[in-house]
Amino acid sequence: MAQVQLYGDERAVATGLDYTRYDKVVEALGGFGAYVEKVEDLGPAIDAAIASGLPACVNVKIATSDFRKNARSV
């Protein structure tokens, strides 16, 4: 988290985002939700979302990364 690196643990309040099943949230609101863990399941999930005709969320689980570790926003 950039905030932790910039300000320290004690000042990085409410900056962590726990893993959330957004697909389930959309389903609870009447839309189409799909959860994808494997890349080969992505295409079929997108096709099903489009075919549903509903507002949709395709929730794709990705790995963590440090690509922004020392980045600064301007």
In-domain check, residue 24: yes
Q: How much is the pLDDT for 45? A: 98
Q: How much is the pLDDT for 53? A: 98
Give the residue carrying structure tokens 């301007």: 74
In-domain check, residue 73: no
How many domains, in total, are found in the chain? 1
How crowded is residue 2: how many other Cβ atoms within 10 Å of its Cβ?
14
In-domain check, residue 10: no
In-domain check, residue 51: yes
CA–CA gap between residue 7 and residue 5 (Å, rounded) = 6
Q: How much is the pLDDT for 29? A: 98
Whether the model clears a pTM of 0.85, i.e. scores above it, the answer is no
Q: Is 14 exposed, middle or buried (0-12, 13-18, 19+ CB in 10 A)?
A: exposed
Q: How much is the pLDDT for 32? A: 98
HSE, CB side, 13 Å, CA atoms: give it for residue 21: 9
- What is the extent of the structural domain holding 35? 19-64
Q: How much is the pLDDT for 8? A: 77
Q: What is the DSSP string of 12-53?
A: -TT-------HHHHHHHTTSEEEEE-SGGGHHHHHHHHHHHT
Q: How much is the pLDDT for 58? A: 98
Residues of the chain with pLDDT under 50: none
